[in-house]
């Protein structure tokens, strides 16, 4: 049986298990999970009776043809060290790791490799998984992986050059937007006495409604701002302040994230491990 193996049962790993099984794209006997701690293995086994739980990454690799690696970039070398010796070479490895290039991965595994960058919002069936296939991936394997991630939400194919910028928006973006929601609600609460929880509730509804409005009407953000900011009114005062300050803040934010993207997967020093 062509079982799917998932290494790592953290935020992404547990979301993928949940998505693959609740969507029905996989049944429990088609999925094997390996993760470092006994605690996480037990949590997976308790949540999903029937899913294969491998005691080691090598044990998983012996059973699966598609192997999704959902560990932090810093752990990738360790995991590959464990699974490569027991693999045939015709497996398809799917790496979720931010900042580890196909070239780096191909230097240790010359077979089928795909990078997939999901998003935590797929927990609620919304958001985009970015997918970038390596040169060795045949059409059936590509469709198989795209089908798996489609069960969680949108799949968008990207080139590896586009991947960091696309990831900043689609996968890191929810974290950034959560900061903005928190800060906007916090400032409103501080200035007005409105309880923070109520401010967060109102802000969340507003953000979801704003995205829906832009999506459904096809308006550009600039057009929407004009509609909301009545000339000489209240919004205009706030928009003016943000337009002064935000470009600098966002430029710094994006530059620091792109820089981190270049270093987070820096495992070349450990390449001799393979």
Ligand X SMILES: NC(=O)C1=CN([C@@H]2O[C@H](COP(=O)(O)OP(=O)(O)OC[C@H]3O[C@@H](n4cnc5c(N)ncnc54)[C@H](OP(=O)(O)O)[C@@H]3O)[C@@H](O)[C@H]2O)C=CC1
Ligand Y SMILES: O=C(O)[C@@H]1CCC=N1
What are the residues binding ligand Y (CB under 6 A)? 98, 167, 171-172
Residue 133 counted as an annotated binding residue = no
Measure the N-to-C terminal CA separation of the chain; round to a whole number of Å: 29
Residue whose Cβ sits closest to ligand X: 10
Rg (the chain; Cα; Å): 22
Residue 153 counted as an annotated binding residue = no
Query: DSSP label at 26?
Result: S
Q: Which is nearer to ligand Y, 77 or 167 (CB)?
A: 167
* Pairwise CA distance, residues 258 & 202, whole Å: 32
* Pairwise CA distance, residues 162 & 155, whole Å: 15
As measured in angstroms, the least distance from the Cβ of 167 to ligand X is: 7
As measured in angstroms, the least distance from the Cβ of 240 to ligand Y is: 32
For residue 10, the partner it binds in ligand Y, ligand X, none, with Cβ less than 5 to 8 A by kind, is: ligand X
Q: Is 131 helix (H, G, I), strand (E, B) or coil?
A: strand
Query: Judged by CB under 6 A, does residue 270 bind ligand X?
Result: no
Q: Which is nearer to ligand X, 117 or 131 (CB)?
A: 117
Phi and psi torsions of 5, nearest 5°? -105, 140
Q: Which is nearer to ligand Y, 184 or 264 (CB)?
A: 264
Confirm if 61 and 67 have CB atoms less than 8 A apart: yes
Query: Judged by CB under 6 A, does residue 120 bind ligand X?
Result: yes
Give the residue carrying structure tokens 């970039």.
73
For residue 35, the partner it binds in ligand X, ligand Y, none, with Cβ less than 5 to 8 A by kind, is: ligand X
Residue 198 counted as an annotated binding residue = no
Residue 247 counted as an annotated binding residue = no
Query: Judged by CB under 6 A, does residue 117 bind ligand X?
Result: yes
Helix (H) or strand (E) holding 52: strand 52-53
Task: Pick one of 3, 23, 58, 75: the residue that binds ligand X (CB under 6 A).
Answer: 75
Residue 86 counted as an annotated binding residue = no
Q: Which is nearer to ligand X, 79 or 185 (CB)?
A: 79
* Pairwise CA distance, residues 109 & 33, whole Å: 21
As measured in angstroms, the least distance from the Cβ of 137 to ligand X is: 19
For residue 228, the partner it binds in ligand Y, ligand X, none, with Cβ less than 5 to 8 A by kind, is: none
Tokens of 83: 């699974």
Confirm if 34 and 57 have CB atoms less than 8 A apart: yes
Q: Is 1 helix (H, G, I), strand (E, B) or coil?
A: coil
Residue 9 counted as an annotated binding residue = yes
Which residues line the annotated binding site for NADP(+)?
Answer: 7-12, 35, 70-73
């Amino acid at each position: 049986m062509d079982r799917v193996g998932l290494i790592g049962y953290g935020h992404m790993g547990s979301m993928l298990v949940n998505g693959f099984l609740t969507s029905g794209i996989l049944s429990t006997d088609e999925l094997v999970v390996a993760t470092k701690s006994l605690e996480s293995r037990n949590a997976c086994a308790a949540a999903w009776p029937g899913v294969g739980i491998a005691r080691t990454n090598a044990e998983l690799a012996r059973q699966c043809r598609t192997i999704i690696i959902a560990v932090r970039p810093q752990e990738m070398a360790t995991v590959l060290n464990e699974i490569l010796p027991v693999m045939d070479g015709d497996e398809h490895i799917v790496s979720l790791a931010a900042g580890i290039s196909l070239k780096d991965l191909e230097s240790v595994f010359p077979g089928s490799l795909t990078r997939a960058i999901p998003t935590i919002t797929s927990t609620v069936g919304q958001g985009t998984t970015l997918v970038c296939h390596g040169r060795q991936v045949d059409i059936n394997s590509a469709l198989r992986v795209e089908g798996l991630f489609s069960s969680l939400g949108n799949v968008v194919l990207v080139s590896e050059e586009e991947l960091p910028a696309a990831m900043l928006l689609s996968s890191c973006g929810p974290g950034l937007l959560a900061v903005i929601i928190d800060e906007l609600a916090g400032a409103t609460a501080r200035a007005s006495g409105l309880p923070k929880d109520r401010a967060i509730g109102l802000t969340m509804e507003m953000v979801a409604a704003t995205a829906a409005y832009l999506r459904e009407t096809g308006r550009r953000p600039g057009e929407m701002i004009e509609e909301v900011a009545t000339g000489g009114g209240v919004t205009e005062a706030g928009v003016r302040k943000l337009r002064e300050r935000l470009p600098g803040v966002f430029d710094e934010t994006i530059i620091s994230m792109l820089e981190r993207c270049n270093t987070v997967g820096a495992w070349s020093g450990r390449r001799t491990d393979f």
